[in-house]
Amino acid sequence: MPPMLEIKNLHASAEGHEILRGVDLVVNVGEVHAIMGPNGSGKSTLAQVLAGQPAYTVTQGSVRYEGQDLLDMDPEERAQAGVFLAFQYPVAIRGVTNAYFLRAALNAIRKARGEPELDPIDFLAVLEEKLQAIGWDDSFVNRPVNEGFSGGEKKRNEILQMAVLEPKLAVLDETDSGLDIDALKTVAEAVNRLRSPSRATVVVTHYQRLLNYIVPDFVHVLVDGRIARSGGKELALELEEKGYDWIKPEAAVA
């Protein structure tokens, strides 16, 4: 069986400016990988490129997802195939309730997979079940998508979407940024409940503190658009202690 995600020598740029300069990464099903790195190292770019953000141009390299050429797929095809990105900055959709949006998204995915679409009543049952699974109430289900949400609510909303859409590969882009410690725990607990042997998760974060709650199997450090070092969860603690500076020379050598 091919790995869930296989990134080879990935180069990507935005507005002519190269940000990713040869990323290599393999993620297998059931694993949790953390991507860390200083500001501007390309962490979020990597997350966005995996989701197919049209603002980035891939100039070199390949990305295979379950053996398929991921870069050849439209963003919606990637989503339908099970790739999910929890956005760093989720956008608001005025006048559209979360429940309506989630049903439309789930049905688009189900349709693409040849599964029957859910009517509003069946969907509510699914939603109820997912909320229970992550231990949340339905307080923002009927509010417009991200409109008037606090930073923390937006991040929680991303995780709720993940719970409903049940991706195979979830990429969480700085899901911890802007969260206070209580909100961080709530979000991390939900993500942990969504851990599964049939799912892989890539957690992009600047700080080690999230990884106290979502414990990764692997940690990678991205510096200047390349993975400069990889290791186990202890690498994150080392970074917490020493900062990122000590890694840079190695990247330069490589």
The whole-angstrom distance between residue 1's C-alpha and the CA centroid of its chain comes to: 23
Q: How many CB atoms lie within 10 A of CB 223?
A: 23
Q: Which of residues 7, 79, 163, 222 is near other proteins by CB under 8 A?
A: 79
* Minimum CB–partner distance for residue 173 and other proteins (Å): 11
The strands making up 57-65's β-sheet, listed across from edge to edge, are 17-27, 5-14, 57-65, 68-69
Which sign does the torsion angle of CA 168, 4, 51, 20 carry?
A: positive
Q: Which of residues 38, 42, 52, 225 is near other proteins by CB under 8 A?
A: 52
Q: Which of residues 84, 123, 140, 149 is near other proteins by CB under 8 A?
A: 84
Q: Which of 178, 236, 169 is nearest to 200 (CA)?
A: 169
Task: Give the binding range for other proteins (CB under 8 A) out of 1-9, 29-37, 45-53, 215-223.
Answer: 45-53
Q: Is 54 in the site for other proteins (CB under 8 A)?
A: yes
Distance CA 109, CA 132 (A): 22
* Minimum CB–partner distance for residue 83 and other proteins (Å): 8
Q: Is 74 in the site for other proteins (CB under 8 A)?
A: yes
Secondary structure (H, E, C), 19-76: EEEEEEEEECCCCEEEEECCCCCCHHHHHHHHHCCCCCEEEEEEEEECCEEHHHCCHH
Kindly write out the interface string for residues 118-157 of this chain, putting x where it contacts other proteins by CB under 8 A and - elsewhere.
Answer: --------------------------x-------------
Name the residue nearer to other proteins (CB basis): 147 or 189: 147
Interface positions with other proteins (CB under 8 A): 51-55, 74-76, 78-80, 84-85, 87, 90-91, 93-96, 101, 104-106, 108-109, 112, 144, 161, 165
